[in-house]
Amino acid sequence: MSLKHTILGFLSWKNMTGYEIKKYFSQLEFIPWQGNNNQIYKTLLEIEKEEFVSKKTVLQDNYPPQKVYSITLKGMIELRNWVMSDPELPMTKNTFIMQLAWAGSMDNETIFRLIDKYQYELQMKVSLLSEMLKRKTVLPDRSQKEAYIWEMLWHNRINLFQSEINWVTQLRNGLVNK
């Protein structure tokens, strides 16, 4: 994932502070970033030097000044070029798969407990994501097309976990007689 381009994408919606950008990262399950706040602010400084964004300091009563970032025309061109670049296939890290790979010597009851825990976590994730989609937690609506694309991004993530639930169910059923 490109942190720079994701930030430019957020700023293409509207002008934002670093705090607002951080908030979007924490609310979007399908953006695979788990860095810290310093990376966001460091990237904002870098893309400001590259003239992809501009910064305006807004004074506030009883609060420190806010730095509000806006995407520039140069930043919009950079974002568009990145969007049009060749897509990468998804890479998923799944610890459960590795645990399962080494579970073959265990009895079925132990393996089923592992599977049940994993399946429960998957079901909770599907419920959470479905609720976030229902509440339109992060769903830009500058156009019907954009709203539809973002809704489908949420469905992609939900379907990923639902597919994993289906696979785990098949795995469990297949192990019954092994």
Q: Classify burial at 20, counting beta carbons within 10 Å of its beta carbon; exposed 0-12, middle 13-18, buried 19 or more.
A: middle
Confidence of residue 84 (pLDDT cuts 50, 70, 90): very high
Select from 34, 40, 35, 33 the least CA-distant residue to 17. Answer: 40
pLDDT > 80? residue 34 = no
Confidence of residue 35 (pLDDT cuts 50, 70, 90): low
pLDDT > 90? residue 88 = no
The rounded percent of the chain whose pLDDT value lies above 90 is 71
Structure tokens at 45: 């400084």
